Amino acid sequence: MGFMDNVIDQLCIPSSYEGVYHSSKRHAPMPSVETLSEIVSRLRAVLFPGYFGHAEIEPGTMRYHIGTNLDKIHRLLTEQINRGHCFLCTLDDMDCDACEQEAQDICRRFIDSLPELRRLLVTDVMAAFEGDPAAVGPGETIFCYPSITAVTNYRIAHQLQNLGVKLIPRIITEMAHSVTGIDIHPGATIGEHFFIDHGTGTVIGETCIIGNNVRLYQGVTLGAKSFPKDEEGVLVKGIARHPIVEDNVIIYSGATILGRVTIGKDAVIGGNVWLTRDVAPGSRVLQNPADNH
């Protein structure tokens, strides 16, 4: 290893790894992407029985299969929730036993929310089936559509974030982002009957509020117009900076909507439109026609 000594010495200089090194004060293991992938897979099997997980599920065996998955989810997710909290903890006198108990309580509350989470996903599946003439049935959208994959991860992650879980929600949405190209922040609020047709390149920011029966197409960005900084020049986080999209809105491919603007109920936003202002309910916003002269 003599030829590597110089490189090793340089890579071990504290100033070189200051921004990319993590060391837990309690030497707690970091969250596991592999384990979180298993948790999400098992949740899919619970939420869409027969489509994912064990294929030979009958009504008579449903309770066994769902119960087996939920037992495993409870044990794995409790540990991952606790790891997420440990990863971001900076306190010297934190009561780790209390954190472990909190993780247990949060996991139970999350599992309690699964019936409502499935109800929402049923509306998303029907939105995909009813909104796409190419879909031959709801099952095709569950198996094949990136929208259902991304929205399932989002709804799982959003519920965990609402329960105060750290880091884990963002990992779960980024799993779907890397597979589908659809980037939905877990902090966004999205109503029922939601569909992203095709989906690739769609971005939905952290503080977006989306109503019911909204349809987006590929390449839509619901983003921030600017990023305010404090007196020291540091970005101010957590402020409302993304659009509000009211019920029954359709936004076509490539549209970019930036800032805390409101797209009113029943509005239609055409493809490749750039918007930084409110849109009245029922409006149609289209590009100016090309000048062919």
Beta bridge partners of 245: 210, 263
Section 176-197 average pLDDT: 98
**Looking at the predicted structure, is the pLDDT value of residue 53 above 60?**
yes
Q: Is 168 exposed, middle or buried (0-12, 13-18, 19+ CB in 10 A)?
A: buried
pLDDT at 60: 85
Q: Calculate ∠ Cα 138-144-148, nearest 5°.
A: 70
Domain that holds residue 290: 188-293
Q: In terms of domains, do 166 and 292 share one?
A: no
pLDDT at 183: 98
The answer to the question of residue 14 being in a domain is no
Round to whole Å and give the CA distance between 108 and 82.
Answer: 13
Q: For position 112, which CATH number holds?
A: 1.10.3130.10
Q: In terms of domains, do 44 and 145 share one?
A: yes
Q: In terms of domains, do 121 and 198 share one?
A: no
* Residue 175 · residue 37 · CB < 8 Å: yes
Q: In terms of domains, do 41 and 113 share one?
A: yes
Domain count, the chain: 2
The answer to the question of residue 8 being in a domain is no
pLDDT at 1: 60
Q: In terms of domains, do 243 and 200 share one?
A: yes
The answer to the question of residue 175 being in a domain is yes
On whether the pTM is more than 0.85, the answer is yes
Output 164-168 pairs: Cβ under 8 A, ≥24 positions apart: 164/106, 165/81, 165/84, 165/85, 165/106, 166/84, 166/85, 166/87, 166/88, 167/31, 167/84, 167/87, 167/88, 168/31, 168/36, 168/80, 168/81, 168/84
The answer to the question of residue 267 being in a domain is yes
**Percentage of the chain exceeding pLDDT 90:** 72
Q: In terms of domains, do 157 and 201 share one?
A: no
Q: In terms of domains, do 34 and 164 share one?
A: yes
Q: In terms of domains, do 285 and 170 share one?
A: no
pLDDT tens digits, one per residue of 268-283 = 999 999 999 999 999 9
Q: For position 247, which CATH number holds?
A: 2.160.10.10
How high is the mean pLDDT of the chain?
91
Q: In terms of domains, do 60 and 176 share one?
A: yes
Q: In terms of domains, do 147 and 194 share one?
A: no
How many Å separate Cα 234 from the centre of its chain? Answer: 25
The answer to the question of residue 81 being in a domain is yes
Q: In terms of domains, do 61 and 204 share one?
A: no
Q: What are phi and psi of 223, to 5 degrees?
A: -125, -170
Structure tokens at 69: 């998955």
The one-character DSSP state at 203 is: E
pLDDT at 56: 78
Round to whole Å and give the CA distance between 177 and 195.
Answer: 16
Q: Which is nearest to 123 in space by CA: 217, 255, 247? A: 247
